[in-house]
Amino acid sequence: MSIDASRRSLSEWLQSEQPASRRQARLGQAWRTWLLFTGNRLGMIGLAIVVLLVLVAIFANVIAPYDPVLGGDLRTERLLPPSLDHLMGTDDLARDIFSRVIHGARLTLMVVALVAIIATPIGLLVGTVSGYFGGWVDTVLMRITDIFLAFPRLILALAFVAALGPGIENAIIAIAITSWPPYARLARAETLTIRNAEHIDAIRLQGASSGRIIWGHVVPLCLSSVIIRVTLDMAGIILTAAGLGFLGLGAQPPQPEWGAMIAGGRRFIIDYWWVATMPGIAIFTVSLGFNLLGDGLRDVLDPKAEK
Amino acid sequence: MSPLLSVENLRIAFPSRQGPVEVVRGVSFSLGRERLGIVGESGSGKSQTGRALLGLTPVSGTATADRLEFDGIDLRHASTRQWRKLRGARMSMVMQDPKFSLNPVMTIGRQLMEAVKLHGGKSEAHDKSIAMLEAVQIRDPERVMAAYPHELSGGMGQRAMIAMMLVTEPDLLIADEPTSALDVTVQIEVLRILDRLVSERGMGLIFISHDLRLVSTFCDRVLVMYAGRVVEELDARRMSEAAHPYTRGLLNCLPTITGDSRPLPVLARDAAWLE
Amino acid sequence: MAFIDIEDLEVTFEGSGRQVRALKGVSLAVEEEESFGIVGESGSGKSTVLRALCGLAPVTGGRISIAGDPVQMPRDQAFYRRVQMVFQDPYASLHPRHTVDRVLSEPLAIHGFDHAEDRVEQALEDVGLGSGFRFRYPHQLSGGQRQRVAIARALILEPKVILLDEPTSALDASIQAEVLNLLDRLRAERGLTYVLVSHDLAVVSHMCDRLMVMQGGEVVEELTREALQAHATAKDYTRNLLTASEGFTRDPALRR
């Protein structure tokens, strides 16, 4: 059997209208979503950027030509313009900016991943529980959410970092704590429409407990819109992390964090533009990538557009 | 007398991943000043046929026909301007649910008067609107004029909708399931109003519905559609003489209050009907 | 005492500062293995009776008992094994992200039934869907097939009572006939008790031995099928409903 034929039969298996097992049904569903997503060119560009970020972060040691922390000869290699030796030039401590940007991808990815892992479940849980039960549970949870929403994100993060001490870990905690309330609001709004649906009445009549209904029936329907929102927020999270770094409250030197790198380069931006510009371009590209990905996901996953 | 509307070989196609799919496949009929029923199940293309007559086929779809003439006007090549002059003024459409067809932030009166003004007659707009609401048997027209759509019941809303569509005295009214969202008793009242307006004003009416029994008691002539085609055209009074197995199946599978056939005869679909 | 016994049932919805009395003292009695119909127009409270019976609407007065046991609030697990419901809209009553398999296995898991695999296969067989439908998502099913899945879900806990809330009003006429036949067959085979709510007198007359006409949250009258067929009704409201159900009649008196 040729490769082409086996590929065709795989695609048929995935798109079968009569799946024969749970696994086939689930994979088939995922495959259809993927086909839909591949039709969205900007979404695919966003996905490519994000995948590139992940790959760069994983293989940073292999890709980066120099050590990101230890600089070269301070007498001869400081503030060199971009060249073949140093693709993005060097900074005032004679460190290769390209290597630092590559290693910075790790920090950025860590921030993004940790915030997503911490903030999304909190937001989902608070939102669905509050929306499903209503009444005083809703009132209490939503007032707490409102309190968190009322603070400007960066200012609250600043306060947290000031209290906990500067450092990338504390910056992540601060950002995560300030970014869940919008997800809770979103999940609650979705839950309010879902909880009156006939299929929720139906499972209630099967005697299901509230926990089972929320986890198995409400959360899967809220999940896609929350994921879309989280993806779109990633750009903002990266910028906040960079902002904290820029203010000296996030990653501490000599860690190659993009925001801190811009801060370091701002002193000589007129004469040595590349020092601040290169990490800036990296921040811009990754933020754009997450935004495009989020838009693409919205086109595919949004339950309101679903038939 | 030449017919009010004549349609020949109407075809409507929508694109899909597997290439264009035809939802209406060669429908032909002509309409005088009479009540014509179009009956079919969901997906039979009856609603798309109705929409195409008003040039309201969704943008993704394409409608073609060998002939599509309304009172001597070729609708296939009508410009946007011509359509604007025709729609509302000479041909109107009543949709299934008045909630979606009426503007929720405007009073009924304003919407009615706007319809009158758009098609000439600014001065008598108010009186004309009141008269029209009375014609659809709304007892308190002044109150309804000042009401917003959500303040009316389903039956009232549908009557207001019919009033709006008829206030310009069109020659052709297309009613797409106009009473399906209403209770049976209200449904009959609304049909009475339509019936009276058709016979008094000499309108042509196309009544699109899934309810074969209702259509056969209300219309003069019935087209039965199946999978985008007209499978049978019948005189409404001779429903029992239907020849096509689909029409017969559709008639038989309905439970009746008096009948006691158990189990109900089930419609066995034949692939040959698609040809 | 009847199998399902409802006395003076009252339901009052409270929302945004006003109270709506949806049911104003409704009483009915349904015998075991009987099929009982409730007819009425929108706003008559016919669906509310079903929803109150199974605990989805707030009961503010009256008594409900099934097989002699007063129904408790909140309903216990045994209640759900005895009473199940089929909803009106097959497009809304199935979870869009769950396969048929999950829809049918979940109640079994909740109530700890054994042989879940066999039961799911059997349930699909019983409602005329083969096992080929087991791993499909709702969007891969037609309206009639979805309603069959909903019926299978209601039957899988082997209840005695099925509440049917306009089970065919969202379906095409030819599909309606198939679903009605299926419901008829299942009742005969399993000795089920049906309470069927519909706006369509013909459907109720076809399916039910006895029926009740409701208007504005109150019972207008109770009839047997024979009485309905003979137009032997005491109330004008029922008579109007009957005439309207028989289709349009051109009334010469109305033509001026």
pLDDT in tens, A64-86: 888 888 877 778 888 888 888 88
B150, with CB counted inside 10 A (0-12, 13-18, 19+), is: exposed
Instruction: Out of A20, A25, A206, name the one closest to residue C106 (CB).
Output: A206
Any C CB within 8 A of B134 CB:
no
- In our burial notation (b when 16+ CB lie closer than 10 A, e otherwise), range A185-211 reads bbbbebbeebbebbbbbbbbbbbbeee
Task: Write the secondary structure of chain A as one string of H (helix), E (strand) and C (coil).
Answer: CCHHHHHHHHHHHHCCCCCCCHHHHHHHHHHHHHHHHHCCHHHHHHHHHHHHHHHHHHCHHHHCCCCCCCCCCCCCCCCCCCCCCCCCCECCCCCEHHHHHHHHHHHHHHHHHHHHHHHHHHHHHHHHHHHHHCHHHHHHHHHHHHHHHHCCHHHHHHHHHHHHCCCHHHHHHHHHHHHHHHHHHHHHHHHHHHCCCHHHHHHHHCCCCHHHHHHHHHHHHHHHHHHHHHHHHHHHHHHHHHHHHHCCCCCCCCCCCHHHHHHHHHHHCCCCCHHHHHHHHHHHHHHHHHHHHHHHHHHHHCHHHCC
Asked whether the beta carbons of residue B264 and residue C242 sit closer than 8 angstroms, the reply is no
Identify the CATH number of the domain in which residue B80 sits. 3.40.50.300
C20, with CB counted inside 10 A (0-12, 13-18, 19+), is: exposed
pLDDT tier for residue A3 given thresholds of 50, 70 and 90: low
Residue A167 has pLDDT above 50, yes or no: yes
Identify the CATH number of the domain in which residue C30 sits. 3.40.50.300
Set of chain B residues whose Cβ sits within 8 Å of the Cβ of C246: 257
Asked whether the beta carbons of residue B185 and residue C249 sit closer than 8 angstroms, the reply is no
Asked whether the beta carbons of residue A197 and residue C89 sit closer than 8 angstroms, the reply is no
Q: Residues A89-95: what's their mean pLDDT?
A: 85
Q: Which of residues 13-52 of A touch C (CB under 8 A)?
A: 17-22, 24-25, 29
Q: Both B116 and B64 in a single domain?
A: no
Identify the CATH number of the domain in which residue A277 sits. 1.10.3720.10
Q: Residues B225-244: what's their mean pLDDT?
A: 88
Q: Both B138 and B50 in a single domain?
A: no
What pLDDT was estimated at residue A2?
62
Please give the backbone phi and psi of residue B12, each rounded to the nearest 5 degrees, phi first: -125, 130
What pLDDT was estimated at residue A268?
83
Under 8 Å CB-to-CB from C194, ≥6 apart: which residues? C34, C35, C36, C161, C162, C163, C164, C183, C187, C207, C208
Any C CB within 8 A of A267 CB:
no
Mean pLDDT of chain B: 86
Set of chain C residues whose Cβ sits within 8 Å of the Cβ of A206: 80, 84, 106-107, 110-111, 153, 157
Residue A307 has pLDDT above 70, yes or no: no
Q: Which of residues 176-215 of C touch A (CB under 8 A)?
A: none
> Cβ distance B65 to B11 under 8 Å?
yes
Q: Which domain holds residue C129?
A: 4-244
> Cβ distance C83 to A208 under 8 Å?
no
Task: Tell me if B194 is assigned to some domain.
Answer: no
Contacts of B155-158 with C-beta under 8 Å, sequence gap 24+, read: B155/B182, B155/B183, B155/B186, B155/B189, B155/B190, B157/B98, B157/B99, B157/B102, B158/B94, B158/B98, B158/B182, B158/B186, B158/B190
B74: β partners: B69
Q: Which of residues 58-117 of C touch A (CB under 8 A)?
A: 75, 77, 79-81, 84-85, 87-89, 92-99, 101, 106-107, 110-111
- A and C: number of Cβ contacts within 8 A: 81
Distance from the C165 Cα atom to the nearest Cα atom in chain B, whole angstroms: 16
- CA closest to C102 among chain A residues: A22
Asked whether the beta carbons of residue B196 and residue C255 sit closer than 8 angstroms, the reply is yes
- Probe site for chain B from C41, C88, C172 (most B CB atoms < 10 A): C172
Nearest by Cα to A278 from A70, A4, A90, A64? A90
Q: Both B146 and B12 in a single domain?
A: no
Q: Both B106 and B80 in a single domain?
A: no
Task: Tell me if B193 is assigned to some domain.
Answer: no
Task: Tell me if A277 is assigned to some domain.
Answer: yes
Q: What percent of chain B has pLDDT over 90?
A: 19
Set of chain B residues whose Cβ sits within 8 Å of the Cβ of C173: 41, 210-212, 250, 253-254
Q: Which domain holds residue A288?
A: 100-307
Set of chain A residues whose Cβ sits within 8 Å of the Cβ of C119: none
Instruction: Out of C80, C95, C139, name the one closest to residue A205 (CB).
Output: C80
Q: Both B138 and B213 in a single domain?
A: no
Distances, alpha carbon C51 to alpha carbons A190, A218, B100, C246, in Å: 24, 21, 28, 29
Kindly provide the ipTM of the predicted complex, given to two decimals. Answer: 0.89
Distance from the C80 Cα atom to the nearest Cα atom in chain A, whole angstroms: 6
Task: Tell me if A32 is assigned to some domain.
Answer: no
What pLDDT was estimated at residue C165?
93
What pLDDT was estimated at residue A265?
85
SS3 B224: strand
Asked whether the beta carbons of residue A203 and residue C95 sit closer than 8 angstroms, the reply is yes
Task: Tell me if A154 is assigned to some domain.
Answer: yes
Residue A108 has pLDDT above 70, yes or no: yes
Distances, alpha carbon A200 to alpha carbons A88, B210, C93, in Å: 56, 30, 8
Task: Tell me if C253 is assigned to some domain.
Answer: no
- Number of continuous H segments (helices) and E segments (strands) in chain B: 10, 11
Set of chain A residues whose Cβ sits within 8 Å of the Cβ of C132: 18
- Probe site for chain C from A23, A133, A206, A219 (most C CB atoms < 10 A): A206
What pLDDT was estimated at residue C255?
42
Structural domain tally of chain B?
Answer: 2
Distance from the B258 Cα atom to the nearest Cα atom in chain C, whole angstroms: 5
Set of chain A residues whose Cβ sits within 8 Å of the Cβ of C150: 202
Q: Both B41 and B134 in a single domain?
A: no
- CA closest to C108 among chain A residues: A206
Residue B175 has pLDDT above 50, yes or no: yes
Distance from the A267 Cα atom to the nearest Cα atom in chain C, whole angstroms: 54
Instruction: Out of B196, B218, B256, name the one closest to residue C248 (CB).
Output: B218
Structural domain tally of chain A?
Answer: 1
> Cβ distance C195 to C5 under 8 Å?
no
Task: Tell me if A29 is assigned to some domain.
Answer: no
B186, containing H or E segment: helix B184-201
Mean pLDDT of chain A: 86
What pLDDT was estimated at residue A70?
82
Residue B136 has pLDDT above 90, yes or no: no
CA torsion angle for A221, A227, A233, A237 (degrees, to 10)?
130
Task: Tell me if A17 is assigned to some domain.
Answer: no
Task: Tell me if C256 is assigned to some domain.
Answer: no
What pLDDT was estimated at residue C212?
95
What pLDDT was estimated at residue B119?
72
Task: Tell me if C57 is assigned to some domain.
Answer: yes
Q: Residues A193-215: what's their mean pLDDT?
A: 92
- B and C: number of Cβ contacts within 8 A: 94
Asked whether the beta carbons of residue A203 and residue C81 sit closer than 8 angstroms, the reply is no
Set of chain C residues whose Cβ sits within 8 Å of the Cβ of A201: 56, 85, 87, 93
pLDDT tier for residue B1 given thresholds of 50, 70 and 90: low
pLDDT tens digits, residue range B137-164? 788 888 888 888 888 877 788 888 888 8
Distance from the C140 Cα atom to the nearest Cα atom in chain B, whole angstroms: 16
- C122: how many CB neighbours lie within 10 A of its CB? 15
Q: Both B134 and B210 in a single domain?
A: no
Residue A100 has pLDDT above 50, yes or no: yes
- Probe site for chain A from C47, C135, C163 (most A CB atoms < 10 A): C135
Instruction: Out of C185, C202, C255, name the one closest to residue B199 (CB).
Output: C255
What pLDDT was estimated at residue A85?
83
Q: Which domain holds residue B161?
A: 99-169
Task: Tell me if A31 is assigned to some domain.
Answer: no
B208: β partners: B38, B176
Q: Both B229 and B212 in a single domain?
A: yes
Set of chain A residues whose Cβ sits within 8 Å of the Cβ of C93: 198-199, 201-202
Residue A11 has pLDDT above 50, yes or no: yes
> Cβ distance B24 to B10 under 8 Å?
yes
Structural domain tally of chain C?
Answer: 1
Residue A130 has pLDDT above 70, yes or no: yes
Task: Tell me if C251 is assigned to some domain.
Answer: no
What pLDDT was estimated at residue A303?
52
Set of chain C residues whose Cβ sits within 8 Å of the Cβ of B211: 173
Task: Tell me if C249 is assigned to some domain.
Answer: no
Q: Both B9 and B116 in a single domain?
A: no
Q: What percent of chain A has pLDDT over 70?
A: 97
What pLDDT was estimated at residue A216?
92
Any C CB within 8 A of B183 CB:
yes
Residue A306 has pLDDT above 50, yes or no: no
- CA closest to A20 among chain C residues: C135
Q: Residues B252-258: what's their mean pLDDT?
A: 86
**How do the pLDDT tens digits run along chain C, 256 residues long?**
789 999 999 999 887 777 888 899 999 999 999 999 999 888 888 999 999 998 888 899 899 999 888 888 788 888 999 999 999 888 899 999 899 999 999 999 999 999 999 999 999 999 999 888 999 889 889 999 999 999 999 999 999 999 999 999 888 888 999 999 999 999 999 999 999 999 989 999 999 999 999 998 999 999 999 999 888 888 999 998 888 888 787 755 444 3
Task: Tell me if B217 is assigned to some domain.
Answer: yes
Q: Both B6 and B41 in a single domain?
A: yes
Asked whether the beta carbons of residue C107 and residue A18 sit closer than 8 angstroms, the reply is no
Q: Both B41 and B177 in a single domain?
A: yes
Rounded distance, CA C1 to CA A100, Å?
84
Any C CB within 8 A of B270 CB:
no
> Cβ distance A72 to A90 under 8 Å?
yes
Q: Both B6 and B80 in a single domain?
A: yes
Any C CB within 8 A of B102 CB:
no
Asked whether the beta carbons of residue C99 and residue A220 sit closer than 8 angstroms, the reply is no
